[in-house]
Amino acid sequence: MNELKMVFDRMGIDIWEVIEAASTKPFGYHPFYPGPGLGGHCIPIDPFYLTWKAREFEINTKFIELAGEINTYQPFYVVERSMEALNNHKKALNGSDVLILGASYKKDIDDMRESPSLKLIELFREKGAHVEYNDPYIQKLPKTRKYNLDMNSVELTKENLKKYDLVVLATDHTDYNYELIFDNAKLIIDTRNAFGKRGFSKGGVVKG
């Protein structure tokens, strides 16, 4: 789905509309959704144990490795979409204030293992942005295997939202007040279609 998202974006096709249309099939259908990257321990890591073992038997697990490449690229793709969206508003990413919504790898949990949000923070910083985050389940980013970001969750208020040049929804927590965010953010990159599903799809929302 992440690969199709990138292909469809280039074609001017909304991947979320395609998924919604496909869901009208009355049988034998299970939806899969794109996102900003994969987290947790299972999908991003465990299949590569099989890849490593298969090499001992001189077998290449091409699909596992290709899927890994595509999914690993997703945070980079989100940053590219962010740069493009800001550019359309005559704003450079370098020097911009960016808020990441969600630090956990999926909604309504406090598990940060392999969360793509951490990579997003790193990439935005490398591009010269000032980055903060909010997550109702994670008040402080702990040191992980790859990252030691030493950041605290900022309060999600009307006044705070207005000060950011870009808000990136990385994790679609149920607790978020999407109307509040939509009404007060200057520009939103929605990697989960959380705003579109709630009818907030016009104006400053860009699907990432």
Enumerate the active-site residues: 42
Distance CA(36)–CA(74), nearest Å, equals 5
Q: Are 100 and 170 in contact, with CB atoms under 8 Å apart?
A: yes
Alpha-carbon span 124 to 134, nearest angstrom: 15
> If 0-12 CB within 10 Å is exposed, 13-18 middle and 19+ buried, where does residue 73 land?
middle
Q: Contact at 8 Å (CB) between 206 and 81?
A: yes
Place of tokens 């953010």: 185
Q: Is residue 129 a contact partner of residue 95, using CB atoms and an 8 Å limit? A: yes
**What does the alpha-carbon distance between residue 175 and residue 190 come to, in Å, rounded to a whole number?**
16
